Structure 1
Amino acid sequence: MVVADLKSIADCMIGSGYGKESVRIYDLIRKSIIDESLYNLGVEKLTASQVQKMEWDVLEAKIRSWLHAVKIAVKNLFYGERVLCDSVFSSSAKIAKSCFVEISRDAAITLFGFPENFAKSKKILSPEKMFRALDLYEAISDLWPEIEMIFSYDSLSAVKSQAVASVVKLGESTGSVQPDSSKTPSTGGVHPLTRYVIWICSMKFCWILFLLGKNTNLYKIK
Structure 2
Amino acid sequence: MPQMKLLRITLLLLLVLSLTPAACAYSYERILDEPWDHSPITVFIDDENVPLHYSPTYYTQVEKSLEYWEEGGNGKLAYTPVFEFTNSEKADIRIRWVENLENIEGAPAGVAGYAKPHLVNGRFVRVDIVLEVGNYQGRGWRQYGDGTMLAISKHELGHALGLGHSDDPRDIMYPEYELRDDVNPLLLSKYASLLRTGALAALVALLFIGISWRSSRKKRKKLEDKYLK
Q: Same fold (TM over 0.5)?
A: no
TM-score, with normalisation over the residues of structure 1? Answer: 0.25
Larger radius of gyration: 2
TM-score, with normalisation over the residues of structure 2? Answer: 0.24
Higher strand share: 2
Higher helix share: 1
